[in-house]
């Protein structure tokens, strides 16, 4: 059974920008899929739609057999972990408290407002920090960590949620190459060991080819490639990225081709 089914979704914003154009795809449960494409291709919009942060102008999105809508949104979000480019941590709070926010959907309303957590939540958060390798930072302020460490906290927070799906929007864009490699390796390990479906958007083609089971290329809101990493050859990359010339970003295109 497919974990995600996207059926002919369109997304037009109030300013007239058409972000997605008839996108359809199925994502298998427990798979590791990477979205690539030039800036403005629709990658982030697609990820936000899978978590209900954006609604389609037309078409449907189904996750685990449930069509996304108001009645199921809270239930879907509770099982969907989000990892962000800029970490989205509360800098003045400890690493542990940031990870515990991944448990808020499992608490009562008053418990969420007052940050009241059970002993079980603390154990889950501690185990999540163990898995990402930063238990020694548990009680430090989050804003005192390096970028790579902060993103590990973001991954631990997603794990603490007990997700069945992890969506990562440019999770290595703010990191140096070594830290970025470590985060991708960590996400791949989580997918393999836990059977969690992982969907990542990236600009780094080399990382996509190294870690993905499947790569989906978007351009101008449409899927223009969908296949195995080994099929992502020079002519395919040219097809995905070449229209970057039209928006004056040829250097970005050449960088993708050089490191693919």
pLDDT per position in the chain (260 positions), as tens?
A: 458 999 999 999 999 999 999 999 999 999 999 999 999 999 999 999 998 888 899 999 999 999 988 888 888 888 999 999 999 999 999 999 999 998 877 654 444 444 556 788 999 999 999 999 999 999 999 999 999 999 999 999 999 999 999 999 999 999 999 999 999 999 999 999 999 999 999 999 999 999 999 999 999 999 999 999 999 998 999 999 976 543 334 445 444 444 44
Q: What is the pTM of this model?
A: 0.89
Contact (Cβ atoms closer than 8 angstroms) between residue 95 and residue 153:
yes
C-alpha–C-alpha distance, residues 118 and 106, integer Å: 10
Q: Which long-range contacts (CB under 8 A, 24 or more apart) does 178-182 make?
A: 178/148, 179/146, 179/147, 179/148, 179/151, 180/204, 180/207, 181/207, 182/148
Q: What whole-number distance in Å separates Cα of residue 157 and Cα of residue 124? A: 10
Sorted by where each starts, the structural domains of the chain and their CATH numbers stand as: 1-79+205-260 (3.40.50.300)
Of 184, 175, 191, residue with least CA distance to 209? 184
């Amino acid at each position: 059974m497919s974990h995600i089914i996207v059926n002919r979704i369109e997304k037009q914003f109030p300013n007239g920008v058409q972000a997605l154009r008839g996108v359809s795809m199925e994502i298998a449960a427990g798979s590791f899929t990477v979205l690539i494409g030039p800036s403005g291709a629709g990658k982030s919009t697609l990820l936000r739609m899978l978590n209900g942060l954006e609604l389609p102008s037309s078409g449907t999105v189904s996750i685990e057999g449930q069509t996304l809508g108001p009645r199921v949104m809270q239930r879907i979000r509770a099982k969907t972990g989000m990892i962000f480019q800029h970490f989205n941590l509360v800098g003045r709070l400890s690493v542990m408290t940031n990870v515990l926010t991944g448990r808020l959907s499992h608490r009562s309303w008053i418990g969420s407002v007052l940050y009241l957590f059970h002993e079980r939540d603390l154990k889950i958060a501690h185990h999540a920090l163990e898995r990402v390798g930063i238990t020694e930072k548990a009680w430090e302020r989050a804003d005192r960590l390096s970028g790579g460490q902060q993103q590990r906290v973001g991954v631990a927070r997603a794990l603490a949620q007990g997700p069945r799906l992890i969506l990562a929007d440019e999770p290595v864009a703010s990191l140096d190459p070594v830290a970025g490699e470590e985060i991708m390796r960590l996400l791949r390990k989580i997918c393999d060991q836990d059977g969690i479906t992982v969907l990542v958007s990236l600009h780094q083609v080399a990382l996509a080819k190294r870690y993905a089971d499947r790569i989906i290329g978007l351009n101008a809101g449409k899927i223009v490639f969908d296949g195995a990493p080994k099929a992502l050859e020079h002519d395919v990359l040219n097809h995905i990225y070449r229209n970057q010339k039209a928006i004056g970003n040829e250097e970005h295109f050449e960088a993708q081709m050089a490191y693919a």
